[in-house]
């Protein structure tokens, strides 16, 4: 796999915002389509980069951005679940053309590495209930369901929580 995981560059903010919206639309995660209010949040990459860490997966051959994720420690405005001693990743997205290459796994592993570097003891995340391929990835990487932390960001949408202890 010739993929590089690195911090986002300012020139990539718009590209990553559109990438995440494109993936969320394709995966059926924006019930309101392109006008879904959450699409605007997904496009606010500059704000995320200011208050959390945005990582990208770029293709080693041409430098194209194929995926992205946001890592947030407890206390960040982007930490929905993370409490003291925890990190969280959100808005994980991989372009359809990049799927099957280990990009999602590489992005999650980068978040785990970052959490360990910060001395955090646990990583948490939220996921839509129907994202079974993502759930399989999380299980392979040591995450387990944490149903006591499931939550509803808006009425009618319940997100499943997953957690993993960090060694």
- pTM greater than 0.85 (yes/no): yes
For 63, the token pair is: 């430098």
Please, which residues have CB within 8 angstroms of residue 68's CB and are 6 or more apart in sequence?
A: 8, 16, 19, 20, 54, 55, 56, 57, 91, 92, 93, 107
Domain count, the chain: 1
Q: Which residues pair with 151 in a beta bridge?
A: 159
pLDDT on residue 60: 80
pLDDT in tens, the chain (167 residues): 589 999 999 999 999 999 999 999 999 999 888 899 999 999 999 999 999 999 999 998 788 999 999 999 999 999 999 999 999 999 999 998 888 899 999 999 999 999 999 999 999 999 999 999 999 999 999 999 999 999 999 888 899 999 999 97
Q: Tell me, what's the pLDDT at 125?
A: 98
Residues 138, 146: contact at Cβ < 8 Å?
Answer: no
Pick from 162, 154, 160: which is nearest to 31 by CA?
Answer: 154
Which domain covers residue 71, as residue numbers? Answer: 3-165
Answer for the pair 34, 74: CB distance below 8 angstroms, yes or no: no
Domain holding 52: CATH number?
3.40.630.30
pLDDT of residue 100: 87
């Amino acid at each position: 796999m010739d993929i590089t995981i690195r911090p986002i560059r300012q020139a990539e903010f718009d590209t990553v915002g559109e990438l995440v919206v494109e993936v969320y639309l394709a995966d059926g995660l924006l019930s309101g389509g392109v006008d879904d209010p959450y699409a605007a949040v997904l496009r606010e990459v500059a704000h995320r980069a200011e208050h959390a860490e945005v990582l990208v997966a770029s293709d080693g051959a041409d430098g194209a951005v194929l995926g992205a994720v946001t890592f947030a420690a407890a206390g960040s405005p982007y930490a929905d679940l993370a409490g003291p001693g925890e990190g969280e990743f959100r808005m994980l997205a991989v372009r359809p053309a990049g799927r099957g290459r280990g990009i999602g796994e590489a992005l999650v592993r980068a978040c785990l590495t970052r959490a360990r570097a910060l001395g955090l003891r646990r990583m948490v995340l939220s996921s839509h209930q129907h994202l079974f391929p993502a759930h399989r990835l999380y299980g392979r990487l040591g995450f387990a369901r944490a149903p006591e932390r499931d939550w509803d960001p808006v009425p009618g949408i319940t997100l499943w929580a997953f957690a993993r202890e960090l060694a």
